[in-house]
Amino acid sequence: MTYILIAVNVLVFLAETAAGGSEDIGVAIRFGAYAAPLVKDEGEWYRLFTAMFVHFGPEHLGSNMISLFALGSFVEKIFGKIRFLVIYLFSGLAGNLLVCYMDIMGGRDTAAVSAGASGAICGLLGVFIVFALLPQMKGMFPMKRVLIAILLMLAPGLSDGSINMTAHIGGLIGGFLITWPVYFSTNALRRRRH
């Protein structure tokens, strides 16, 4: 599933490039990037989902796909394809929903267009927070190490105003929240099989 997600992101990126350039805002909007006025005024809520697969430039795509490969492969091995996909998509939606809430309800500047897989990828880091809290797994996932990994992931957004920190934080929270029921349902299923 990790490889399928990477392939989908790369294919969308290639389609963006062919349609006029992945760094063109108009192209990004046509391919489903998030923009508050289009969600709020036009009712295009699907953008909360499609924005996860749109990227601005090769560096944006490359850094996200490397992170997805590194984290996704590991999380998928633990949870399996479907549960991994649930965590990933839920996290991405949570990140974009928080952006939408802050834009519409928080009175922020809603002219910005945002896109990318990083909210969903930050949700995969939320999985490791859960592991660091579980007595049977915290030895393998020390909380200090997990927090350092999260800080390293979030650090670029502290100095670069073009990075949507709200989506990252929303994705991280979403991943943390959805991992609990996914983890316990996975364990229950394994116990029934044994």
Q: Give the model's pLDDT for residue 108.
A: 62
Dihedral angle at the C-alpha atoms of 29, 154, 118, 73, nearest 10 degrees? 170
Q: Give the model's pLDDT for residue 67.
A: 92
Alpha-helical runs (H) found in 31-80: 36-40, 47-50, 57-79
Q: Which of 22, 118, 159, 194 is catalytic?
A: 118
Domains and CATH numbers, the chain: 2-193 (1.20.1540.10)
What pTM does this model have?
A: 0.89
Residue 164 sits at φ, ψ, to 5 deg, of -85, 90
Residue 135 has pLDDT above 70, yes or no: yes
Amino acid found at 63 = S
| Residue 55 annotated to the active site | no
Q: What is the pLDDT of residues 68-110, one digit of tens each?
A: 999 999 999 999 999 999 999 999 999 999 999 888 777 665 6
Is the distance from CB of 47 to CB of 39 less than 8 angstroms? yes
| Residue 118 annotated to the active site | yes
Residue 194 has pLDDT above 50, yes or no: no
> What is the share, in percent, of the chain residues with pLDDT greater than 70?
92
Q: How far apart are CA 194 and CA 188, in angstroms?
A: 10
Alpha-helical runs (H) found in 19-142: 25-30, 36-40, 47-50, 57-79, 81-104, 118-133
Q: Give the model's pLDDT for residue 109.
A: 56
Average pLDDT estimate for 23-47: 92
Q: How far apart are CA 58 and CA 64, in angstroms?
A: 10
Q: What is the pLDDT of residues 137-168, one digit of tens each?
A: 878 888 888 888 888 888 877 777 677 889 99
Q: Which of 159, 168, 185, 194 is catalytic?
A: 168
Is the distance from CB of 121 to CB of 192 less than 8 angstroms? no
